A and B are shown apart, each in its own frame.
Chain A
Amino acid sequence: MSFLTYLKDGISLGSVYAIIALGYTMVYGIAKMLNFAHGDVIMVGAYVVLMLLTRAGVPGILAVVIAMAVCTILGITIEKVAYRPLRKASSPLAVLITAIGVSYLLQNIALLMFGADGKTFVDVIKLPSLSFGDGKLVISGTTIVTILACIIIMICLTLFVGKTKQGHAMQAVSEDKDAAQLMGVNVNGTISLTFAIGSALAAVAGVLLCSAYPIVTPYTGAMPGIKAFVAAVFGGIGSIPGAMIGGILLGVIEILSKAYISSQIADAIVFGVLIIVLLVKPSGLFGKNVQEKV
């Protein structure tokens, strides 16, 4: 296979990481917490689509929309039930540990419902592939949709956060919850909205991921979730363009490492790159070095 093919695969996988990383980074930016259950919402999204398609015969697009709705409700519920009561807890570790607990809870529920065996994912994206240079580079429909979805999501989120009133409220909450409340911003509502957006994106990521790697297990979301978290940190946690760039770079590094170095140590390389980036620029590529003005 050619370099271009690997690059394309890397960008495609990276786009999925980017979409997941956006959820991580937005929740971190606004609620100042790491939602380690975020990856498992991806898995839930994938199972919902799979069930709707195979058991209920729902058309693909509709199944994706329903999965987004289910994940949105799931995300809001997790925040409300598991994280909100701890928001005022004295240690941020309490909520972190709870997030890990929620992650295992989701995995175990999936295990109970669907068993540990991988289920073959169905084709949701039925687009023809594009072929370049006499078939030297073939870009599948899934890849096209994945990359396009990533770009569209990125543009929409940037416009939403930068241009709308609700987006400004999010930025205000992210910077200073008390001051935001004094403006009349409902902080709980804003955090719910953030979880809703992140979880809906997780559903999309689940479909895209499982379309490219078509096996769903209860652990499907775990590793991509961690990689996306790495991508978010890599790009500068809290930063939307950072999550995007971090995700894509991570995907490309991972695929190129697998192709040219060794597939066994590809993940180690990915994490090694993260460590180097953080040593050079602790706030990540796009991290804001927020300076307090006194």
Chain B
Amino acid sequence: MAMLTVNNLHVYYGVIHALKGISFEVEKGEVIALIGANGAGKTTTLQTLTGLLSSKQGSVIFEGKDITKVPAHKIVEMGIAHVPEGRRVFSQLSVYDNLKMGAFTRKDKAEIEESLSIVYKRFPRLEERKNQRAGTLSGGEQQMLAMGRALMSRPRLIVMDEPSMGLSPIYVNEIFDIIEAVSKSGTTVLLVEQNAKKALSIADRAYVMETGKITMEGIAEDLLHNEAVRSAYLGE
């Protein structure tokens, strides 16, 4: 059975029908890319998974448990961390306190310290700036903080919403290297990206969304060479 099964999800914003029956699966250990144009419903999908939005119809099953109606603040404890679109770090808190917020639901003090050192190893820049307020970090550093913060919960599944948005090419490469490393260390990844080329190059499988529906799915490598995908999302 898949780690995450999303079945026929319908989500509305008032009268706007944003998700029109989305279904997909994520297997343990995979990197799944979810790509699509602006407004396709990618963020809506992730926010519904982690309880920030509620669905009118459909279900979300994670590790065999129905989490469709589980409130957002209980999701992280179940093993899913969400790196939100636009980073959303706590700008008034220090880098260190932001990372500690990532471990908010954990009680194991010694192991939290261990997670912290793992995060610092992965993002040395965060350690250098640990006492700085998060609001003073550059965009790329804030993205790293958002990812580090999510990793502090030791998730089994991490969902990321456009981690490369607005970053310079060097940062983009760094972020994608880190996503690969996170995946290698055993965390399953669900990645939403505008940068379809990059996302497809590190993903195992991918889903393509268009106006609230999944229109294509397959092995990432195949989609990378698919004519329709190339012309619509890779700008070729």
Which residues on A are within 8 Å of B, measured CB to CB? 165, 168-169, 171-172, 175-176, 178-187, 288, 290-291, 293-294
Contacts and interface: CB of A to CB of B under 8 A. Distances in A.
Interface stretch (B26-34, B87-95, B191-199, B219-227): B87-95
A171 B135 contact: no
A165 B72 contact: no
Contacts of B75: 182, 184
B90 A178 contact: no
Interface string B37-49: 0000000000000
A292 to B, nearest CB: 9
B50 A182 contact: yes
A187 B105 CA distance: 14
12 contacts: A168-B100, A169-B101, A171-B92, A175-B91, A176-B88, A178-B52, A180-B101, A182-B50, A182-B52, A183-B104, A183-B105, A293-B91
Contacts of A294: 86, 139, 166
A168 B72 contact: no
Interface in B65-118: 71-77, 81-82, 84, 86, 88-93, 97, 100-102, 104-105
Given A178-B84, A185-B73, A169 B139 contact: no
Contacts of A179: 84, 88-90
A240 to B, nearest CB: 12
User: Which of under 10, 10 to 19, 20 to 34, or 35 or more describes the interface residues of B?
Assistant: 20 to 34
B153 interface: yes
A176 B142 CA distance: 15
Q: B81, B92, B105 — which one has the most chain A CB atoms within 10 A of its CB?
A: B92
B149 interface: yes
A175 B90 contact: yes
A178 B104 contact: no
Contact of B73 (A168, A184, A288, A291): A184
B21 interface: no
Contact of B76 (A165, A184, A290, A293): A184
A288 B72 CA distance: 29
A193 to B, nearest CB: 14
A182 B90 contact: no
Contact of A288 (B92, B104, B142): B92
A181 B139 contact: no
A290 B91 CA distance: 9
A175 B92 contact: yes
Contacts of B91: 175, 290, 293
A178 B72 contact: yes
A186 B76 CA distance: 12
A197 to B, nearest CB: 19
Contacts of A180: 73, 90, 101
B104 A181 contact: no
A182 B142 contact: no
Interface of B: 50-52, 71-77, 81-82, 84, 86, 88-93, 97, 100-102, 104-105, 135, 139, 142, 149, 153, 166
B104 A169 contact: yes
Nearest to B53: A178
A104 B101 CA distance: 39
A184 B70 CA distance: 12
Contacts of A171: 90, 92-93
B102 A183 contact: yes
A263 to B, nearest CB: 41
A220 to B, nearest CB: 35
Given A171-B90, A178-B52, A293-B91, A185 B135 contact: no
Contact of A293 (B77, B84, B142): B142
A179 B87 CA distance: 9
A179 B88 CA distance: 6
Nearest to A184: B105
Given A168-B97, A293-B135, A181 B92 contact: no
Contact of A165 (B74, B92, B100, B142): B100
A184 B90 contact: no
Given A165-B104, A168-B93, A293-B135, A181 B72 contact: yes
A183 B149 contact: yes
Contacts of A290: 91-92, 135
A182 to B, nearest CB: 5
B88 A178 contact: yes
Contacts of A186: 73
A181 B90 CA distance: 12
A194 to B, nearest CB: 16
Contacts of B90: 171-172, 175-176, 179-180
A283 B74 CA distance: 35
A183 B166 contact: no
B51 A184 contact: no
A272 to B, nearest CB: 32
